[in-house]
Amino acid sequence: MGRIGEWVKKAQDLARGHSKQADQLLDRAERIAKEKTGHKYDEQIGKGADAVQRRYGGGQGAGGEQRRPDQSAQDQAPRPGPTPRPGPTPRPGQEPRGPQS
């Protein structure tokens, strides 16, 4: 096993032994990543965080259901799309154009 493989195994063992702290760290990293990317990749970041938690057995609440303590309703709500840009401003004396039919 290479050096990186050894580090990954050691990190997994530590996370399994301290899953609550690992969950908190992962939730914080997920939140920061979402903020830094302007929430453009929230779904992919969330899936990645879930995969990491499954790998070390974290994110389990009472009864074995997945638990995401720092995920607020804001993270789960759909985000509005970009605001459309306004059309050109008509020149004085020029009729504004409507949609073409």
In a domain, 65, yes or no: no
Rounded CA-CA distance 97/94 in Å is 9
* pTM (2 d.p.): 0.53
The parent domain of residue 40 ranges over 3-58
Question: Is residue 26 included in any domain, yes or no?
Answer: yes
Long-range contacts of 43-47 (CB under 8 A, 24+ apart): 46/75
pLDDT of residue 49: 94
Say if 78 falls within a structural domain. Answer: no
21 pLDDT higher than 80 = yes
Task: Assess if residue 71 is contained within a domain.
Answer: no
Is residue 68 a part of any domain in this protein? no
The count of domains in the chain is 1
More confident residue, 100 or 94: 94
Q: Percent of the chain having pLDDT more than 90?
A: 33
